Structure 1
Amino acid sequence: MNLETIQIEEVKKEETAFETREGLKSTLLEEAARQRGYKVERLTYDTMILTIEGKELLFRDMNGPLSSAAMMRIVDDKYLARALIKNENVRTPDSTYLRVFEREEIKAFANQIGYPVVLKPNNLSRGEGVYTNVDSDESLDRHLDKISMLIGNDFERILIEKQFNGDDYRFYVVDGEVLAVSKRARANVTGDGEHTILELIQEKNERRSKDRDLKNFLIPIDKTKLGRLFREGRTFETIPQKDEAIVIRDESNIASGGEGIDFTDTVHPDFNELAIKAIQAVPGFHYGGVDVIADDITEEPNATNYVVTEIEFSPGPLSMFHWQGEQRDMANPILDFYLKHLDEL
Structure 2
Amino acid sequence: MKLFKFKHWEYWPSYLFYLPNIPYAVYLALRAKSLTLFSATNPAIQHSGNGSESKFATIQLIPSAYKPISIYIEANSNTQNILKSILENKIQYPFIIKPDIGFRGLLVQKIYTQIELENYLKNYNHIDLIVQEFVDFKNECGIFYHRLPNETKGKITSITLKKYLTVCGDGISTLKKLIENNERAKLHIPLLNKLHQNNLNLILQKDEEKILNFIGNHSKGTQFINGNNLINNNLETAIDKIMQQIPGFYYGRLDIKYQSFEDLLLLKNFKIIELNGIISEPTHIYDPINSTYFNALKEIRKHWKIIYKIATLNHTINKVEYDKASDFLASLKKLKKYSKQLNKQSLISNKS
**TM-score, structure 1 length as denominator?**
0.67
Residue of structure 2 aligned with 1:200, choices 162, 181, 196: 181
Q: Deviations 1:37-76 (Å, cap 9, x if unpaired)? A: xxx37xxxxxx4015895556479xx57646753227983
Shift, 1:198, TM fit: 4.2
Q: Identify the structure with bigger relative contact order (alpha carbons < 8 Å, sequence gap 6+).
A: 2
Residue of structure 2 aligned with 1:76, choices 45, 53, 56: 53
Residue 293, structure 1, aligned to residue 257, structure 2:
yes
Mark the CA change 1:158 to 1:336 in structure 2 (over 3 Å): closer, same or farther: closer
CA RMSD of aligned residues (A): 4.1
Corresponding residue for residue 144 of structure 2: 172
Residue 220, structure 1, aligned to residue 188, structure 2:
yes
Mark the CA change 1:178 to 1:169 in structure 2 (over 3 Å): closer, same or farther: same
Residue of structure 2 aligned with 1:139, choices 87, 92, 116: 116
Shift, 1:289, TM fit: 0.9
2:68 counterpart letter in structure 1: P
Q: Deviations 1:60-101 (Å, cap 9, x if unpaired)? A: 9xx576467532279831111122212xx5521112112243
2:70 counterpart letter in structure 1: S
Shift, 1:147, TM fit: 2.0
Corresponding residue for residue 96 of structure 1: 71
1:103 counterpart letter in structure 2: T
Residue 322, structure 1, aligned to residue 292, structure 2:
no
Percent identity between the aligned chains? 15
Q: Distance in 1 between matches of 2:273 and 2:52?
A: 12
1:319 counterpart letter in structure 2: H
Q: Deviations 1:268-317 (Å, cap 9, x if unpaired)? A: 86664564456555544322111111122332467862111111121234
Q: Is the 8 A contact 1:52 1:339 kept in 2?
A: no
What are the within-5 Å matches in structure 2 for residues 152-301 of structure 1?
153=126, 156-166=127-137, 167-175=139-147, 176-190=154-168, 196-201=177-182, 203-204=183-184, 219-222=187-190, 224-230=191-197, 233-235=199-201, 241=206, 244-266=208-230, 272-273=236-237, 275-276=239-240, 283-300=247-264
Q: Distance in 1 between matches of 2:290 and 2:263?
A: 19
2:262 alignment partner, SS class: coil
**Alignment coverage as a number of residue pairs:** 289
**TM-score, structure 2 length as denominator?**
0.65
Q: Distance in 2 between matches of 1:282 and 1:188?
A: 35
Corresponding residue for residue 15 of structure 2: 23
1:289 alignment partner, SS class: strand
Shift, 1:171, TM fit: 0.7
Q: Distance in 2 between matches of 1:26 and 1:52?
A: 15
Which has the larger share of helix? 2
Mark the CA change 1:144 to 1:131 in structure 2 (over 3 Å): closer, same or farther: same
2:261 alignment partner, SS class: coil
Structure 1 unaligned residues grouped into runs of 5+: 1-5, 31-39, 42-47, 206-217
Structure 2 unaligned residues grouped into runs of 5+: 148-153, 317-352
Q: Distance in 2 between matches of 1:59 and 1:194?
A: 57
Q: Is the 8 A contact 2:164 2:221 kept in 1?
A: yes
Corresponding residue for residue 93 of structure 2: 115
Q: Deviations 1:198-242 (Å, cap 9, x if unpaired)? A: 4532x448xxxxxxxxxxxx83121x44455555x345x96874x
Mark the CA change 1:171 to 1:58 in structure 2 (over 3 Å): closer, same or farther: same
